[in-house]
Structure formats: C-alpha cells, structure tokens
Structure 1
Amino acid sequence: MFGALCALLAACLYAALAGFVIPTQRALIMLGVAMSGVLLRRRFPPSQLLAAASLAVLVYDPLSVMAAGFWLSFAAVAVILLAMQGGRTDTTVIYKWGYLQWAIALGMLPLMLVMFQQVSLVAPLANMIAVPVFDLLVVPLTLFGVLLLGWLPGAAAGLFFKLAAGLLQLLWWALTFLADLPYTQWTQAAPPAWALACAIMGAAMLLAPRGWPVRWVGAVWLLPLVVVRPPAPIAGEAWFTLLDVGQGLAAVVRTQSHTLVFDAGPRFGSFDTGEAVVEPYLRSTGVRRIDTLIVSHGDNDHIGGAESVLRAAPVGAVLSSVPERLPAAQACASGQTWNWDGVEFTMLGPDEERFKRDNDNSCVLQVRTRHGNILLPADIEARAERRLIERWGKRLHSEVLVAPHHGSKTSSSPEFIDTVAPRYVLFPVGYRSRYHHPHPVVTQRYADRGIAMYASPESGAIEFRLRATGLETAAYRQRHRRYWYAD
C-alpha cells in the first residue's frame, strides 16, 4: 500500500512538472485507477482496470474522445496487455522488448491508418531505441537536475541537464537517420468501417497467446486493410470538393484517373492548410499523385499552402497567374484546355490584357462534364466578371459556382450571377472573419434567384459528385453531426 501511495505521489509531481497537459492528465487518471486495486487490496483483471480507467477519463473530460491521443493511448495499453498474455519465461529481455515493439506496431496498425492514413515502418526500431533512452536516462537525469536546483548551485544541477540534452542530441541524430531512410513510411487510404473491424480481428488473432488455434488466419483478416480502395469517379464523372481552410480557398477535382488541386489555402507562420487540410484529404481519398496544381493568384489565402502541397505528392504540372513564385510553374491563360477521362477543363481567364488589380488577374477554371459544370473564378471582381461575360457569354453557365472573392461586395454582380445561373453557390470563408464575407448584399442576390448557398463555417468541406444519376451533394458537418454545431 505504501508503494502505491508513493507511486501516485510521484506521478502527481511529474504531471505538475509537465504542466498537467491533457495526455498527462489521462495517464495520471489511468495510474490512479490501477493503484486503487492495490489500495483496496483487491485484484482486478487488467481488462477491468483498463475499462475503469477509460470511464474515469471520460467522466473527467467527455470530449477527450475527439482527441487522437485518447484512442492511441488506450489502444496501446490494450495491445500490450494482449501481447503479454501467456508470454514465455525462457526468453531474454531483449527478445521480449523487441517482440513488444512488433506487437504494438501490428496492433496499432488499423487505428493509425484510420486516423493518419500512414504508418511508419521503422517505428518499432525507433521505439526500441528511444523509449529506454527517455525512461532510463533522459527523464531521471532531468528529474535529478530539478531536485538539485534547490540544494546545489545552478552549475552543478545544470550538469544533469547538459547530460540529458547531449543524450537527446544523439537520439535525435539516430531518429533522423531512420526517418531519412527510403521506403520507411506506408501510406494508405483510410479503410471503411467494415475493413477496420476485420483488421482489428486479424491483429487480435495474430497477437493471441501461443497455442491459440490457426493464429495465421489473422493475416487473412488484415487483407481488406490493404486491398480495399476508396470509391472513385468513373469515366465522364467529376467529383469536386471544396475544403474548409477558413478564410481562403482550396478545392480538389477528381476524375477517373486524374486529380487537380485548385489553390492551397493560407499559411500563418509555421502552420499552413496545405499540410493540415489538403494533404490529409488527399491521403484519405487514396490520391498519390496530383496531375495539375493551379494557384489562382499570389494572395496568402490561396498560395500559402502551396509549398506543402508540392511536397506532399508528385505534381505533374503547376499553373498560376504568378508563376515566378512557384517552382517550375507555367502561366495560366484564357483558352488553355485539356480533357481527362471525358471531363473537359478550360481556363477562362486571365486574358493577355491584364488588369491593375491582381485579384482580377486570377486563374478562372471551368470544369465541364455531360452531367453538369463547375466554375472556380477565384478572387475576380466585377470588372473581370464583365470581361468574362463579354468573351464567354452563356458558356459560363455552371451548376456549381464558387463565389468570386469569397462573396465580397465588389464581386458577384447581378449580370454575372444571371449569366452563370448556378444551382449552388459556395462561399469559402472563415468563421467570423474580419472581412465579414460573404457580404449580406451578395447573399441576398443569390437568395433572390433561389440559388442554394453553402458556406464553409456552417458546412465544413462540401462535396459535389457530377454523375449520370444526377448532381449529388454532401457537406461534412451534415454527415457528421455534433451537438456543438450551430444550426
């Protein structure tokens, strides 16, 4: 009992040093539940302790189920408990440690693919090195340094910190070497729910104790995780997704065998939506190559994430109205056209005669299928809209329109709306943006014409599928309802 109390006290002190961050709070609660069995002098099965710990964490923080760390931490503990059942006693410590890392990698595989669509193939080896260094060397040295700060001069206590820092530098070099090796990461589209269930069953069978009948069948249960591919358009169809990147624009158009990305959203310091939004979306849909990246113009809310998108996947061609700001880019120009899988892509602007305002020189793309059209006019305003009407006339008609310039009052002129005559208009705007987009005057123009409106803050990512059966639409927040979403 005394040992359990000391363990809880030490854990509380360690959590305090860590600032009681959310993962530390969960670990502390889990430890408290586990030690309660010792304090109560009762022996609980590990599965009951794990269930009680998860219940306690959810009572303390119900929204923790929305965090990946909640599922990863409890799943990892469950895998360890399963892998250690019926373990052999005649093996070495190194063998047991290596087997445990392999078991964790296998057991966490389905969850990692669902959450991140990628798995590190060198993670078991990296953990075999990193975990002992942290647990046996870095953390004790750091704690000794903290304890000695109040007893010895700063230089003496600092010696422990320097030793810990030196070990971390060596560890960082080793981990960087492993990460830089080729073919160390497996990327796979997010599996459907039934494939995830099969994979969990397969992993559990492979990790079952020795003597479990036909454990090898677990490998068969893992196959759907590898061979099942997400749905994709057929010839002649175009699937269009307007991603939610806040006050900015990023859209993806997919045909049967090609992918186009139109703009990449904003960048703020070290954070950009190209890495945080566009790249995960492409992974989740199984896209491994971008055939064309179009960056409409040079404003941050359109070009900010372009570098991350270029790093995320091989890119066949880059078109932009500011090609000098992107590697190997070509200028977009009115009249450029190409055909993918029965879907026609046409650049409607800019013309050779440029406007003074950069917004009006944005790349304007129309996607034409036999099932309907999509128009992406980027940030053009009324003057450029008039020129489009003069040159293209009724050709501008499209079922789906991404509102010019996020629905600002300087765009979406009545003549332009009447010429395009869309069924749906999409507003890629930020929640309570300081620009106050879309402007009420603009939304009233669309409403007066009976045009259905979607805005990013209320809808999240918006998908349109132009198919022979009709125009299908779905908004992320409608498909994934949460009680904190505003109606």
Structure 2
Amino acid sequence: MNDRTVPIQPAPHLSAAWLIAWCLGALIAWLLPWAPVDGAAGWPQWLVVLTQGLSFFLRWLAFETYLLTRPVAFLSLVLLALLIIQLQQAPYARPLWRGALLLLALVSGMLWSLTQISDFMRSLPPPMNAAQNCAMTATIEGLPRPGAHAQQLLLRVNQVEGGAAGCAVQAGQRIRVGDYSPAPPDYRGGQVWQFNLRLKPPHGSANPGGFDYERWLFSQQIVATGSVRGTPSPIAAVGAGFSAHLAAIRAHWRAQLLAVSQTAGVPDRGRGLLLGLTIGDSDFLGETDWETLLATGTNHLLAISGLHVGMVAGLFAWLAGGLWARTRWCEGLPARQVAAWVAVAAAWGYAMLAGMSVPTERTALMITILLAGLLLGRPWRLLDLWLVALMGVLVLEPFSVLTAGFWLSFGAVLIMLLWLSARPNLSFWRDGLRLQVILTVALLPWAWWMFDRVAWSSLPANLLAVPLITFVITPLALLVMVLSGLFPAGASAVMGLINLLSQGLFGVLVWLEHSFPQSQLAPPPTGSIGLAVLGVAWLLMPRTWPARFLGLILCLPAVLYRPPALMDGQARSWILDVGQGMAVVIQTARHTVLYDAGPAFGASDAGARTVLPALRALHVGTLDQIIISHQARDHAGGLPSVRAAFGAAPIISGQPLRDIASRPCVDGASWVFDGVRFTLYQAEVGWHAQKGDNNRSCVLRVQDDNGSLLLTGDLEAIAEQDLIRRHDLTADWLYVPHHGSKTSSSPEFLAAVQPKMGLISAGALNQFGHPHPVIVARYQAASIALINTADSGALEVSAGQVLGYRARQWPFAWRIAWRI
C-alpha cells in the first residue's frame, strides 16, 4: 500500500507530550558539565573524555557564538508555537512531524535554560586576586535580614562611583553584603543608599555534607559578596522600577506587622509565624524553633504555600462575586467572570506580597490558566495544567530549579493530582488523612537527599500542624494584617491568640522532636536515593498494582547503605574547608578523632555549619577524641556546637578552654587506634610571644601504613625550632602552620619535616593575606607541593594520596562559574 493511503491516527495527548519534552529539556540543561571531571578523583576515563567535549562545546557556544542569546531562545519558542499551531490544524499529522515537534520542544527548553545560564556567566566580573573597595549607589532588594551581629542586604547596583575603575561590578547586577556596625541604619526594602563596600567574588565551602552556598548564590544571580564600610548615606526612600516599589510595600507591611506583634517588648513565636504566613518573611523565628520545624518536617508550613494563595484567591472571588451579583451591571458582565478575574488578581497580589516564591508563583499561574480556560470554554486536564505551570515557572524564573522549594512544591502537587485523579468521590477527613500520609511517605527520599534529614516524626507533626496552621493560624494572621492599619488594638488582640496557639503548637512539636530518633542523617549515594524514589512510588500505587511489596526491596539499598570500612592500620583524614580556620576529621577502622573545630562567625560557628554536617556525611556516630590545638577563635570557635552533639567525647587542649573542661596536651603522649598511632607534641618555649598563644598549639602526628600527617595548629617559628630540636617530626604531609603566615614555616622546620606536600586551610581572599607569598615561595623552593582548601575544598588524605573535594563534585555551572 502507498504511504499516502495509510491512515494516520490523531495524537490526543500532543499538548502533554510537547510540554513534557520542553520542560525536560529545560531541566536537563542544568545537569550539563561546564568543565571536565578529574580522572584522578576516580571518574572513569570515558566520562573524562565526554565531559571534556561537552564542556568545550558549551563554553564555545556561550562565549564565542551568538547561539545562546535571548533572541535565539525566543526564536525557538516562536518556531515551536508555529509548529504546534500547524499540527493542531492537521490532527492526522504524520509521526515524523510529531517527532520533529518533540525534538524541537526538547531543544527549545534546553536553549532557554542554557541562555539564562550563559547570560549570567557572561555578566560575571573577571576573577579577583584581592578584595575590592567600591563606592556606589544601590537599591535594597527584598527585605533586609536582621541578625545578632550583622544585617544582610541584597542590593541592586544603580551606579558605580567613578565608573568601573577599580570595581568589577556593574550597574544592574546583584550583590550581597553585610553591615557589621554596632548600630546599623534602619534599612528598608526599596530604599536607595550610597555605600562604600569591600567586595570579593562569591565563594562557598566544599565539604562532605552541608549547605551548598555557591548554588544558592548562583540561584539568586549574585555576582559579588562583601561588607559595608563606614556609614552609608540615604539617597531615596523608594528606588525606580517595579521591584523597588514592591520591596517598599513589603517593607511597610513588615514594619506594621512587627509593631502589632511585639509582646511586652519581647518577640514571641507567633511573630515568626505571622510574618512568614503573610509576607513570606521567615527571618523572625529563632534558630531553635527553626531546628524544631526541620526535625519534625513541618518547616514547609512557615512558607506561604499554594493552599494559602488558593484560600486568599477564593475568599476575594467569593466576596467580589457576591457583591457584583447585587449590582445592575451583573447582566452585562456576569458575576462569575468578575469573580474569576478578581481571584486571579488576588492570587498574583498575594504571591508578590510573599516575595514571589516558587509555591506562590506556581499557584498563581495555575489559577490564572485554570480560570482563563473556564472563561474561554477550554477545560484543562489536571496534568496539562500542572505542566503549563511548570513551563511557566521555568520561563519566568529559570534559576528556581536550583532551590529545594521548586522540587518539593511541584513534586507535592503532582502527587496530589495523580492521587486525586484516581478518586472521583472523596471524603474530606478520611481522604485528607490518606493524602497527608501519602505526601509524607512520597517526599521522604527527596527531603532526605536535599536536607540530610529523615524527619521520623513528620507524619504525626504534619497531621497536627497542617490543619492548625492552614485553617486557624493563617486566617488569623491575615486578619491581623487587615486590622493592623485599621484597628491596631484589635490586631494586637488577635495576635495574642496567635501567640497562644503558637506556643501550644511548638510545645507539641518539641515533644515529638525528642520522642523520635535524631532526624539528622546523611543520605546514601544518589543512585540509592533514586531507587528509593521508585520504590516509594511503587508502594503507593493502587491496590490493583501487581507485586507492590517489590517497592520495599527497591528501598533497601538506601536504608542499608554503609560506606566501605577502613582496614586496620589505615587512616582517612579530612582537612575541612572551614574558611579562615582549621578543623580536621581523622577516621580509623573503628574510631574517629577531631582536631580543632573551626572558627566562630558571630552568632554561628563552623561546628554547626560545617563540622557536624561533615561528620554525618562521613557516617560518624561517635567521637572518640577531640583535640583543640589552642583556644584561638578560628580553631576552637566551633567547639560548643560539636560538644552539644558529642558531649561524651574527651577533650585535649593545648591550653585551658573557657567554660569547657579539658585535659592538657602532654608533650610526647601517644596512643594507638586500630593500628594507627597518634602522637602529641607541644613546644616548651614561646608561649607568650604574641597575643593568642599560638605557640601553645598542641601538635598531632598521625602515622598509618601509608604515611604520616603532621597537624601543627598555629605553631610559629620559635616553637618550631624547639620541637625539631627535641623530636623527630618527619612527615609525608604537613599542615602548613598558622594558615601560611610569614611567622611560621621556617626553613629549618621544613628541612626537618621533609614533607612531600603542604596542606593549607585558609579563607579565600582572607584579610590576613594567608598564605603569604614569601611562604609560598619558600615551599616552592624546597620542591614541596601546596594545596589550599580555598581552591580545592576539603582535603582528603587517604591511601597515600591527597585529593581536593571539589575534584569529586560534578562540574555544574554554579560550581565553576566563579572560576572561569
């Protein structure tokens, strides 16, 4: 039979197919490598070759051609739309054309995301070799973040004083700075100020476990970070542009809500919920309460969710429709249409007031598309509606892909839609309970992977918190918002009720937090998490689904995963990337030792931010020994957080610690863990050579079957001379004393230790200039290789090799953007 006579069937789900293809392409673009992986880090050779080719091609497209530009991306969308229109007019199109549509949709989605990535990477300042002083006028975007020691500001640069000379940032770019003055000005969103800033390129630590700060900076499109110098001068109460006016409106509401939520001069828990549920401001809830929400899996409730946006839109639609129906104009313009458009306006208004977070933007899009379809007589399938909203967010906010909220928000809604589509008849309470159970179980692997947590108490906690916050506290919070400007006394009275409910809620959540096992748990490898996601999906299929028990089997690799154990006589040491400080984790077959705990940063410290997440990621359940070289803030600052988690661990210190019991460092003391020898050394001279007692540092030498590592704290030259005179300190790997200060690493000391490599722990572009160029030259002259945590991330010393943690990471755009 001739091809022209073959009947071709229409494609009833063509819209869903091209939407899926476009969204898939837009998401895949974020996974592409922008640099080759390092074969020395264990990557297979075929992957090294593949990433070399792909990264070269991407950089060529981004920096040498005009293909990854906005006009090309828009053109691909136009071509896609024209092809869709053509195929809609010819429902019996050939499979070849339908395949071409899907391919074009996939390529268009990839082009869109790659264009946004490339635009931002092209706008980045050239790499800085030192911090820069910049004078500029800038508009405060969003809401300033209050803190005990600093106010964090997100700024949009308006003008750089004196042009761009000496300052790499340009007008229109975003920067993040902190004002560390004791009494900072009353910053408010939308204001324009003249600043003197000290800026440096964005930089985040790279360690096993912990928060990916560089990914967050990339998602916010921040090109530099820094601090405010001197006293800034106000220029204007509100800057130009829509975003500045929106920030000013949010700042006005923040001030008004803060005024009515003050209780006898002391903030209460209700204040945090009030601001979080009305304007999406989560900065006024204490760290302890945040930890409770994270541990119980209820932290999502503090953000304005899609349900809250839907409630507000529905309330405004009901009021508008009822009032319009009582007017004489309802015959010409039906109340149903008025209610629909008011609902759309209310949804977008509330979303903007909440800062346009992903859940609010998604819900506003879905409400708009759904109501527009109803008004135009074009009913939507739920899956198509979800896909259109997904594409809309990817078009409007492509960088939101890098946030956990994007995945959890769209994932939760997809689960609900799939579950509801199979149940035409629903019981509010019974099926609502079932849906909550399904959401909790289905999102468990995702939350474990994203937050290093398994919130064991999340099910009972959410069963209590979801209805209480959604149907009681949120309406009360919105009522406070309405009354705050009209009737402040009434708003304060309602606020008292919110405080009472908040205290009761957190009381139960704290009880649940301590009644269930510890929620912080390192996730298994990504492959195991992927199997767990499939396993949970299999388990949650309808009862008619065959062999649902197989889902449990797919979950076993994630549940039973344990990292390979070390053999006796072997040690693995991690010099963590803690910035300008020091923290080292040493593991043997059955023991773990921590040498130093990292610096303190104002109200937080590296113990909580870096050391504890790293210990979880390394599956450390017990610390057998803590050694603090000396009590300097950059070495002992993180100890309180570590001690809170591992209170039973004995502590040895080079000098007495403030408010913490410890045993003194005994020169020459030695012990063996699993065939690995640990030896302590302490100098007898130079203890008071300078403030900080650097020369009292307790030095540790770790000897295993593959070599030896010497950890020196902040040892200086006079103490170095004393130790090499009395001890044999030869070592294969030397922690460069005092972060590479010019007062340390004397030639005699290097000659005595004879290391193959020097390991440096220093902050990127730190104010002390560590490592000092003189010291770097000294090591180079002695043919001693150097590796720095500021460049390579955490340093792993294992099996006779040293490897930086950055070499282990996949070269996503945000991990290499600042280093191109």
Using structure 1 for the length normalisation, give the TM-score: 0.90
Q: Secondary structure at the match of 1:247?
A: coil
User: Higher RCO, 1 or 2 (CA under 8 Å, sep at least 6)?
Assistant: 2
Q: Secondary structure at the match of 1:14?
A: helix
CA distance in 1, matches of 2:420, 2:667: 65
Amino acid at match of 1:367: V
Deviation at 1:309, TM superposition (A): 0.9
Q: Secondary structure at the match of 2:459?
A: helix
CA distance in 1, matches of 2:664, 2:389: 58
CA distance in 2, matches of 1:230, 1:240: 15
Deviation at 1:344, TM superposition (A): 0.7
Q: Could you list the runs of 5+ residues in structure 1 that have no partner in the other structure?
A: none
Contact 1:367 1:375 in 2 (8 A): yes
Deviation at 1:311, TM superposition (A): 2.0
2:724 aligns with one of 347, 368, 389: 389
1:233-252 alignment, distance < 5 Å: 233-252=566-585
Contact 1:254 1:260 in 2 (8 A): yes
Confirm whether residue 474 of structure 1 aligns to residue 770 of structure 2: no
Deviation at 1:362, TM superposition (A): 0.8
Confirm whether residue 5 of structure 1 aligns to residue 335 of structure 2: no
1:419-458 alignment, distance < 5 Å: 419-458=752-791
Deviation at 1:217, TM superposition (A): 1.5
Amino acid at match of 1:167: L
1:229 aligns to what? 562
Q: Secondary structure at the match of 1:389?
A: helix
Distance 1:13 1:317, change over 3 A: same
CA deviation profile, 1:352-394 (whole Å, cap 9, x unmatched): 99554410001100101121111110011111111111011xx
Distance 1:417 1:137, change over 3 A: same
1:377 aligns to what? 712
CA distance in 1, matches of 2:382, 2:434: 20
CA distance in 1, matches of 2:573, 2:740: 19
1:167 aligns to what? 501
1:367 aligns to what? 702
CA distance in 1, matches of 2:565, 2:818: 29
Deviation at 1:158, TM superposition (A): 2.7
The aligned length equals: 475
CA deviation profile, 1:318-347 (whole Å, cap 9, x unmatched): 111234435442111211111111111111
Confirm whether residue 98 of structure 1 aligns to residue 98 of structure 2: no
Confirm whether residue 264 of structure 1 aligns to residue 264 of structure 2: no
Distance 1:51 1:185, change over 3 A: farther
Task: Name whichever of 115-124 and 54-63 sits farther off.
Answer: 54-63
Task: Name whichever of 335-344 and 263-272 sits farther off.
Answer: 263-272
Confirm whether residue 205 of structure 1 aligns to residue 538 of structure 2: yes
Confirm whether residue 178 of structure 1 aligns to residue 524 of structure 2: no
Q: How much is the aligned-residue C-alpha RMSD, in angstroms?
A: 2.4
1:31 aligns to what? 363
Q: Secondary structure at the match of 1:290?
A: coil
Contact 2:522 2:617 in 1 (8 A): yes
Structure with higher Rg: it is 2
Contact 2:358 2:405 in 1 (8 A): no
Q: Secondary structure at the match of 1:483?
A: helix
Deviation at 1:4, TM superposition (A): 4.7
CA distance in 1, matches of 2:697, 2:502: 48
Contact 1:458 1:477 in 2 (8 A): no
2:413 aligns to what? 77
Confirm whether residue 194 of structure 1 aligns to residue 530 of structure 2: no
Contact 1:294 1:319 in 2 (8 A): yes
1:292-303 alignment, distance < 5 Å: 292-303=625-636
Deviation at 1:81, TM superposition (A): 3.4
Amino acid at match of 1:77: V
Distance 1:192 1:149, change over 3 A: closer
Contact 2:359 2:405 in 1 (8 A): no
Q: Could you list the runs of 5+ residues in structure 2 that have no partner in the other structure?
A: 1-336
Q: Secondary structure at the match of 2:816?
A: coil
Q: Secondary structure at the match of 1:237?
A: coil
2:675 aligns with one of 315, 332, 342: 342
CA distance in 2, matches of 1:353, 1:446: 24
Deviation at 1:39, TM superposition (A): 1.1
Distance 1:162 1:232, change over 3 A: same
Contact 1:399 1:422 in 2 (8 A): yes
Contact 1:290 1:314 in 2 (8 A): no
Confirm whether residue 142 of structure 1 aligns to residue 477 of structure 2: yes
Distance 1:354 1:28, change over 3 A: closer
Distance 1:364 1:54, change over 3 A: farther
CA distance in 2, matches of 1:116, 1:478: 20
Distance 1:25 1:433, change over 3 A: same
Amino acid at match of 1:172: F
Confirm whether residue 330 of structure 1 aligns to residue 330 of structure 2: no
CA distance in 1, matches of 2:568, 2:381: 55
Confirm whether residue 120 of structure 1 aligns to residue 452 of structure 2: no
1:67 aligns to what? 403
CA distance in 1, matches of 2:487, 2:521: 53
Deviation at 1:290, TM superposition (A): 0.8
Task: Name whichever of 154-163 and 335-344 sits farther off.
Answer: 154-163
2:235 aligns to what? none
Contact 2:631 2:657 in 1 (8 A): no
Amino acid at match of 2:785: A
Deviation at 1:2, TM superposition (A): 4.8
CA distance in 2, matches of 1:232, 1:149: 60
Amino acid at match of 2:345: L
Contact 1:406 1:429 in 2 (8 A): yes
Task: Name whichever of 437-446 and 206-215 sits farther off.
Answer: 206-215
Q: Secondary structure at the match of 1:119?
A: coil
CA distance in 1, matches of 2:604, 2:397: 27
CA distance in 1, matches of 2:555, 2:468: 33
1:463 aligns to what? 796
CA deviation profile, 1:132-168 (whole Å, cap 9, x unmatched): 1221122211212222344x33212332233223222
Amino acid at match of 2:449: V
Contact 2:665 2:681 in 1 (8 A): no
Distance 1:334 1:355, change over 3 A: farther
1:132 aligns to what? 467
Amino acid at match of 2:514: D
Over the matched positions of the two proteins, sequence identity in percent amounts to 37
CA distance in 1, matches of 2:517, 2:617: 19
Distance 1:54 1:448, change over 3 A: farther
Contact 2:585 2:595 in 1 (8 A): yes
Contact 1:255 1:341 in 2 (8 A): yes
1:255 aligns with one of 588, 599, 606: 588
Confirm whether residue 318 of structure 1 aligns to residue 648 of structure 2: no
Amino acid at match of 1:238: A
CA distance in 1, matches of 2:644, 2:522: 18
Task: Name whichever of 279-288 and 55-64 sits farther off.
Answer: 55-64
Deviation at 1:101, TM superposition (A): 2.5
Distance 1:290 1:433, change over 3 A: same
CA distance in 2, matches of 1:74, 1:369: 49
Contact 1:458 1:486 in 2 (8 A): no
Contact 2:686 2:718 in 1 (8 A): no
CA deviation profile, 1:146-202 (whole Å, cap 9, x unmatched): 22344x332123322332232222212222222232x34345432112211210111
Distance 1:403 1:472, change over 3 A: closer
Deviation at 1:408, TM superposition (A): 0.7
CA distance in 1, matches of 2:610, 2:473: 35
